[in-house]
A and B are shown apart, each in its own frame.
Chain A
Amino acid sequence: MIRFKNVSKLYPPNVVGLDCVSLHVQPGEFVSIVGKSGTGKSTLAKLLFAEERPTRGVIEIGGWDITHIHDRDIPLLRRQIGVVFQDFKLLQKKTVYENVAFALQVAGVFPRRIREVVPQVLDIVNLGNKLARYPKQLSGGEQQRVAIARALVHSPKMLIADEPTGNLDTLNSREIMDLLKKINEFGTTIVLVTHDREMVNRLRRRVITLEDGKIISDVEEGRYKL
């Protein structure tokens, strides 16, 4: 699913984001990327959905070499990858339903299909009864679930979550983690960036640890060290 070959990312002038990282993720895996702040976790995530281009190395997603992906092909890539962030990135002036529908609208999907898909994914994240609410009227956990629903709307092969529980309390965080596990069980590859020790330890899945832009450990069914 994901293949990094000696990938480095330098930010101008010469800040090291990632330093010669190689890794391989199988389809259907649930991988956690952990490490201290500033060690390149978000950089790795951004390279996956082509928000940043690598300075050196090769990146393949599902057999597609996106190392030098053309701007006009990025939308195509993004529809195969769902992304969620710590700050949810919801549109405050749109309802839950509209926020999720927006992702389909801007891809030119027909209204009938939108009316079909949006309630389905909102059911998956357990928000089928809050379609007309605005983000402000939801808890943090609920907002993150809207963001996840939006990420799922194109039935992506991969979901990237950069600190999805960073703004949430333990209870809400657990809910989100359970949701991610559920999505993973449906077959979606999940890349979870986090520094939440408890969440990772409860998962018992593959853990990749970064330090100063390098992979310092990569273990199946790992635990959060440090």
Chain B
Amino acid sequence: MFVSSYRVTKFALQNFWRNFWLSLITLSMLLLTLFTINLLLVLNVVTDRAIALVEDRVELSVYFYDSTQETTLSSAVAYLRGLSQVRDVEIISADEAYQQFIQRHTDDAQIMASLQELGENPFGPTLVIKADQVGDFEMIIDALDNPQFRDSIREKDFSDYQSIVERIQSITDRIQVFVIILALVFLFIACLIVFNTVRIGIFIHRDEIAIMRLVGANNWFIKAPFLLEMVLVSFIAVGITIAMIYPALILIEPQVDVYFGSQSAGLFEYFTQNGLLIFGGEFLALVIITFVSTGMAMKKYLKV
């Protein structure tokens, strides 16, 4: 068994070198496929982080009437802080709300004029609530229907981040579909090329194979070099991908991070933490796919 493995390995390496250009094309195609798959992963990570970041900023503003008592307000704050879903409650006093409004609309003469006309501060105090998860807001809104202070609430405003999340999602979904299709096309071409490489390999070695059969070579001895060659090519493809992806991430990461403000997109981190899973999985997938193509080519042309 050991002896045979050595010989099979030797034959596989011979196949690889004798077919060098063909092997190179197979390798390139596998590389392209891996590239698109990893691009998909990068895209996924970035999208997830972006959505998390946006969701982090989702807040519920609760506007109280300007007549609201201090005690009613603080009991509402205490009540909300007591809810497990609530991450943070920020209190904006009537004055602060007024100042913020002026600041925001200082360029809008019409609004400023109508504010002037009112003469007094039309704003009441506001509570800005952040939840642990976006889904929790529904529950918090229900909780605000508390008889203690519900009559003091003028308006509840759920900042419209949901639509931003949906927009990000729909854009990345579309990019993803495109990249997935690209990956599938590359994969399909890779399969065809593997099939063809094996077919030509069988053709080149037809004399040897005929003689092997004649002298009673084990069937797997005839097949194994072709399979092993594909394992080798898959291994090299994944190896090159690993060798290229980490430096690439180091280069790209700072540029992506810009969009995430102080936070990092965590690409490099993601690929280091899941490296074994990602590249082990990709290697395994390539081996399986190339084995299927090789098997089909051998079935058709080897007739062992």
Binding site for B on A (CB under 8 A): 49, 71-72, 74-79, 83, 89, 91, 102-103, 105-111, 150-151, 153-154
Question: In the complex, which residues 220-242 of chain B have their Cβ closer than 8 Å to any Cβ of chain A?
Answer: 221-222
Contact between chains at A75 and B219 (CB < 8 Å):
yes
* Residues A71 and B218 in contact in the complex (CB < 8 Å), given A106-B212, A108-B1: no
Instruction: State in angstroms the CA–CA spacing of A151 and B215 once bound together.
Output: 7
Query: B1-14 interface mask toward A, CB cutoff 8 Å, 1 = contact, 0 = none?
Result: 10110010000000
Q: Which residues of B contact A (CB under 8 A)?
A: 1, 3-4, 7, 207-208, 210-219, 221-222, 304
Q: Which residues of A sit under 8 angstroms from B214, Cβ to Cβ?
A: 49, 78, 83, 89
- Beta-carbon contact of B215 and A106 below 8 Å: yes
CB-defined contacts of B4 to chain A, threshold 8 Å? 108
Considering the complex, give the chain A residue whose CB is closest to the CB of B214: A83
| Across-interface contacts of B7 in A (CB, < 8 A) | 105-106, 108
Would A76 and B216 be within 8 Å (CB), given that A108-B4, A108-B221, A110-B3 are in contact?
Answer: yes
Task: List the count of A-B residue pairs having beta carbons below 8 Å apart.
Answer: 60
Closest to B6 in A: A111
Is the Cβ of A107 less than 8 Å from the Cβ of B208?
A: no
Also in contact, A106 and B3, with CB within 8 A (given A78-B213, A89-B210, A89-B211): no
Which chain A residues border B215 with CB–CB below 8 Å?
78-79, 102-103, 106-107, 150-151, 153-154
Separation of A88 and B132 alpha carbons in the complex (Å):
81
- A91-B221 in contact (CB<8A): no
Q: Which secondary structure dominates chain B's binding surface?
A: helix
Q: How many angstroms between the C-alpha atoms of A151 and B214 in the bound complex?
A: 9
- B208, A91: Cβ atoms under 8 Å? yes
Q: Which residue of B lies closest to A79 (CB)?
A: B216
How long is the Cα–Cα vector from A194 to B212 in the complex, in angstroms? 25
Tell whether, in the assembled complex, residue B208 and residue A77 are in contact, meaning their CB atoms are under 8 Å apart: no
- List chain A residues, Cβ under 8 A from B217: 75, 106-107
* Complex CA–CA separation, A106 to B218 (angstroms): 7
Q: Is the CB of A77 within 8 A of B216?
A: yes
Question: Which residues from B are CB-within-8-Å of A72?
Answer: 219
Chain A residues with CB below 8 A from B216, complex form? 74-79, 103, 106-107, 154
Which chain B positions have C-beta within 8 A of A107?
215-218, 221
User: Once bound together, how far apart are the Cα atoms of A153 and B215, in whole Å?
Assistant: 9
A90-B207 Cα distance, complex, nearest whole Å: 9
Give, as a whole number of angstroms, the nearest-CB distance from B56 to chain A. Answer: 62
**A102→B215 CA distance, assembly (Å):** 9
- Bound Cα distance from A182 to B90, whole angstroms: 106
* Residue contact A106 to B219, C-beta cutoff 8 Å: no
The minimal Cβ–Cβ distance linking A102 to chain B, given in whole angstroms, is 7
Within the complex, what minimum Cβ distance (angstroms) separates B94 from chain A?
88
Cβ contacts A to B, 6 pairs, < 8 Å: A71-B304, A77-B216, A79-B215, A91-B208, A108-B7, A154-B216
Interchain CB contact under 8 A, A91 and B219: no
A151 cross-chain contacts in B, Cβ below 8 A: 215
A74 to B303 CA separation, bound complex (whole angstroms): 13
User: Which of chain A's residues have a CB closer than 8 A to the CB of B213?
Assistant: 74-75, 78
- Further pairs besides A89-B207, A108-B221: 20, Cβ < 8 Å: A49-B214, A71-B219, A75-B218, A76-B216, A78-B213, A78-B214, A79-B215, A91-B211, A103-B216, A106-B212, A106-B222, A107-B216, A107-B218, A108-B1, A108-B3, A108-B218, A109-B3, A110-B3, A151-B215, A153-B215
Q: Which residues on the A side are within 8 Å of B210 (C-beta)? A: 89
B7, B215, B219, B222, most chain A CB atoms within 10 A: B215
Instruction: For A74, list chain B residues within 8 Å (CB).
Output: 213, 216
Determine the chain B residues whose CB is within 8 A of the CB of A75 once the complex forms: 213, 216-219
Q: Which A residue's beta carbon lies closest to that of B210?
A: A89
> What's the Cα separation between A103 and B210 when bound, in Å?
12
Which 10 A-B residue pairs are closest in the complex by CB-CB distance? Answer: A78-B216, A106-B217, A103-B215, A79-B216, A108-B4, A75-B216, A106-B212, A106-B221, A75-B218, A105-B7
* A138 CA / B217 CA spacing, docked (Å): 26
Which residue, of B7, B207, B211, has the highest number of chain A Cβ atoms within 10 A? B211
Bound CA–CA A28/B77 (angstroms): 106
Q: What is the distance, in angstroms, from A201's C-beta to the closest C-beta of chain B?
A: 30
Residues of A within 8 A of B207 (CB): 89, 91
